[in-house]
Structure formats: structure tokens, C-alpha cells
Amino acid sequence: MTSIRQAVEDYLAVRRALGYKLEDHGWLLADFASFLEAAGAATVTTSLALAWATQPENVLPSWHAARLRVVRGFACHLQALDPATEVPAAGLLAGRNRRAVPYLYSQADITALMAATSSLRPALHAATHNTVIGLLAVTGCRLGEVIRLDRADLDTAEGIVTIRDSKFAKSRQIPLHPSTLAALAKYAQIRGRHCPRPSTPALLVSTAGTRLISQGVQYVFARLARQAGLRPRSPACRPRIHDFRHSVAVSTLLGWYRDGLDVQAMLPVLSTFLGHSKPANTYWYLSAVPELLALAAERRQTGLGVRP
């Protein structure tokens, strides 16, 4: 292992020991280390950081800025050990983070995505990605949470799955519908036939019997979305894995409004279900979706005695 790669490993170990997940930092910094090695560079310079961060060209400027922020954090750490390290200035690349417009999946969209997994080979590969999509669609979990699930986290007797030590170091339990439990039992049979001795305790495994990695799942999902006929609704609204989470939140809120429930009182329940650090983070959905905003406004007008 080269010194720059060792420095990357040390940096990630220190940050993760402090409680940071850094799921994307690992592969991004590994790629940056490869870039430095190819350039014959022994340390970080601003020009090299910019050259790497602005790849590829056909992406949003915010992604270039995000890549440079990852390098800046690493460079700050490395400069304490190697004074020759240059730390790129903050704000060197313009690209303010903006929330993407949620791509809300219909039941037909989800059915089409799950059907598209039948084209994957071998059978375990197809079953794993079918199960990933199904779990995301019914639980509203983050992709990283689903990937980190171990077989021991699934309690079939109680019908719950435990999400452990997720974002903000929070854990939670999610109840599962009997149909979801049946689907997981079917997946376990396929996993047992094709991978009887996996090298990981993970609930969902790759064809090699290892835990899934997020970039691999993202790559397969992009292919499935195209095959299922899902297309961007606007430049800011493209089918993403994270939008299963938005879809669960929005459909839950819509259901509560239509059933006449006190949404304000119920919101902490949804916040806990999604693993938000506080209910205020869940309020974003009320303004992100026009139909929800209209229902909220109608409820307020009714409460004030105003005819909508």
C-alpha cells in the first residue's frame, strides 16, 4: 500500500471512530489516490485536487463541489503530517447543494422495476436486487441501512426488522407486513440454495457471498430504471434510489390527510419510522410535494372556518 493510500485509510479510520459513516468518502478517496498515483504525485496539490474533482464533465456543478469538499477534508488531515500538502480553498468550485425534486414512484413504477430484475443473471443476483427494491419501497429505509442489515436483525416471529446505529447513531425497529416477511423468506431460500455459506452475516448478499456495496446497487438500479421505462420528469427530477424513501413518506402523509387524521400529531411517528433526528426534518415533505401542500392548506382553511 502506498503512503497516500495509507494516509487515506488512517484518515477514514479516525473520522469513523468519531462516529462519521463516510460511506461515499471511502470509494471517492480511493479513486483520488489512484488519480494521484497515475500523475506520479506524492501528495495533494490544489491543481490536482481540482483536476480530479471536476471529473466527469457531464454532471451537475454541485457534484464537482462535493468531490472537492471530500478532498479538502482529507487534505486538512494530511497537512498536519505533511506540510507540503496544499489544502484547496473553500468555495473554490461553485455549486450550492440543492434538494432534488422527489421522483415519487407509483405502484406501477415499483412493479415495473421489480419485474425488470428478472432479466438479471444469475438467479441470486436477480433475487437480491428484487428484494432490495421491495424493502426500500415498503420501509422507506436509506440504501445504506438496507445494505447493513444482518440476518440477525430480522425477527420473523415478531415481524420486525431492526435498523442499528444508523444516521446520527440512532437505531429503530420497523414493523413488516406479512407479505414482506413472506418475500424475505423466499429470498432466504434462494440465498441458501445459491450461496449456502456466505462470507458475511448480511441479510442481502452479492453473487460472491459478500455484503452489497452502494455504488454497485446504484449501477444496477440505473439499468433497471431504464429497462422499466422510467424517465426523468425534469432535469431536477430523475429516478433515484433515495426517492423510495420520499415516496413512502409522501404516501403516508397523503393517506393521513385523506383519512382526516391529525397530521401534526402523527408527524413524530413518521419521523421516528424514517429515522429522522427530529420531526422538523420531516416537515420538508409538506412543502416538497404540491398535493401535500394543497391538502395542508385546505386543512388549515377548514380549521379557520374558511370555505376552500
Please say whether the beta carbons of 201 and 210 come within 8 A.
no
Whether residue 263 lies inside any domain: the answer is yes
Are 215 and 265 found together in one domain?
Answer: no
Are 145 and 195 found together in one domain?
Answer: yes
Nearest to 248 by CA among 108, 54, 102: 102
Exposure on the CB side of residue 152, measured as CA atoms within 13 A: 3
Local confidence band at 1 (pLDDT 50, 70, 90 cut-offs): very low
Nearest to 53 by CA among 39, 72, 79, 78: 72
Whether residue 98 lies inside any domain: the answer is no
What range does the domain containing 285 cover? 243-303
Are 116 and 223 found together in one domain?
Answer: yes
Last residue of a domain, one of 227, 259, 280: 227
Q: What is the DSSP letter of 211?
A: B
Whether residue 234 lies inside any domain: the answer is no
Are 254 and 223 found together in one domain?
Answer: no
Go through the chain and tell me how many residues it has: 308
Whether residue 217 lies inside any domain: the answer is yes
Are 147 and 212 found together in one domain?
Answer: yes
Are 117 and 170 found together in one domain?
Answer: yes
Are 59 and 139 found together in one domain?
Answer: no
Catalytic residue ranges: 142, 167, 242, 245, 276, 285
Number of domains the chain contains: 3
Whether residue 95 lies inside any domain: the answer is no
How far apart are the C-alpha atoms of 98 and 127, rounded to whole Å? 34
pLDDT tens readout for residues 54-98: 998 877 788 888 899 999 989 988 888 888 999 998 878 876 556
Instruction: Tell me the percentage of the chain whose pLDDT exceeds 90.
Output: 47
Are 112 and 192 found together in one domain?
Answer: yes
Are 64 and 162 found together in one domain?
Answer: no
pLDDT tens readout for residues 85-141: 999 988 788 765 566 678 889 999 999 999 999 999 999 999 999 999 999 999 988
Whether residue 88 lies inside any domain: the answer is no
pLDDT tens readout for residues 242-300: 889 888 888 887 777 777 777 777 777 777 777 766 666 666 655 555 555 555 555 54
Q: Which amino acid is at 128?
A: T
